[in-house]
Amino acid sequence: MTTVSMTVNGQTVTKDIDPRTLLVQFVREHLRLTGTHVGCDTSQCGACVVHLDGVSVKACTTLAVQADGGVVTTIEGIAQGAQLHPMQEAFREHHGLQCGYCTPGMIMSAIDIVNRKGTDLDEATIREELDGNICRCTGYHNIVKAVMAGAQAMAAGGMRQAAE
């Protein structure tokens, strides 16, 4: 067993864990934050994307011990109370989800795209940057619309970083 300590969605947590524990297992099982999903075992699908120290990572391929001392933001941490993050609103408004399983990862990746590429995103950039996120329901069409609109809404709100 080893001890890890990190800030998750603004709260400091310290747990004793098996050192093999993945970050996705840590948030899901030790913190009961089940919004981050496991969709594959090959790190291709992106359902597990979270932000670690301000950048998107695949939590299924990150050991919890690698996040020791770090700042983690999950899908549960981006809204401000009842006020949703503009990217979340955009996914709802533009029907960017059906079953919802890929959605947390899509939203976290989308916010990271804006952080890195700015708020004026074109379709080609969005499609390229979402290469690491797989959706089996939507055909991506409305996800692209949602990301574009969410990015513009983030500009209007003066945001470029996920809420902590």
Partner 1 sequence: MAVTSIGERVTRKEDHRFITGKGRYTDDINRPGQTFAVFVRSPHAAATIRTINASKALAMPGVLAVLTGDDLATDNVGGLICGWMIHSKDGTPMKAGPHPALAQGKVRYVGDHVAVVIAETLAQAKDAAEAVAVDYEVGKAVVDVASALTKGAPAVHDVAPDNRVFSWHLGDKAATDAAFAKAKHVTSLDIVNNRLIPNPMEPRAAVGDYDSGSDAFTLYTTSQNPHVARLVLSAFIGIAPEHKLRVVAPDVGVGFGS
What is the smallest separation between the CB atom of 143 and partner 1, expressed in angstroms?
Answer: 12
Could you give the CA distance from residue 11 to residue 143 in angstroms, rounded to a whole number? 30
Q: Name, in order, each residue with C-beta under 8 angstroms of 23's C-beta and a sequence gap of 6 or more.
A: 50, 52, 57, 59, 60, 62, 63, 64, 66, 67, 72
Rounded to a whole number of angstroms, the minimum distance from the CB of residue 41 to partner 1 is 8
Q: Dihedral of CA 128/134/136/137: which sign?
A: negative
**Cα–Cα distance, 24 to 80 (Å, whole number):** 23
Please list every residue from 69 through 108 that binds partner 1, using CB under 8 A: 74-76, 79, 84, 88, 91-92, 95, 97-104, 107
Residue 16 burial (CB < 10 Å; 0-12/13-18/19+)?
exposed
Phi, psi dihedral angles at 162 (to 5 degrees): -65, 145
C-alpha–C-alpha distance, residues 144 and 125, integer Å: 10
44 binds partner 1 (CB under 8 A): no
Tokens read off for 128:
């390229």
Specify the residue, 6 or 75, whose C-beta has the smaller distance to partner 1.
75
Please, which of residues 15-34 interact with partner 1 by CB under 8 A? 18, 20-21, 25, 28, 32-34
Cβ distance to partner 1 smaller for residue 70 or 105: 105
- When the beta carbons of 10 and 120 are compared against partner 1, the nearer one is 10
Q: Residue 52 or residue 102: which is nearer to partner 1 going by CB? A: 102
Name the minimum Å distance from CB 136 to partner 1.
5
Q: Which residues bind partner 1 (CB under 8 A)?
A: 18, 20-21, 25, 28, 32-40, 45, 47, 74-76, 79, 84, 88, 91-92, 95, 97-104, 107, 134-137
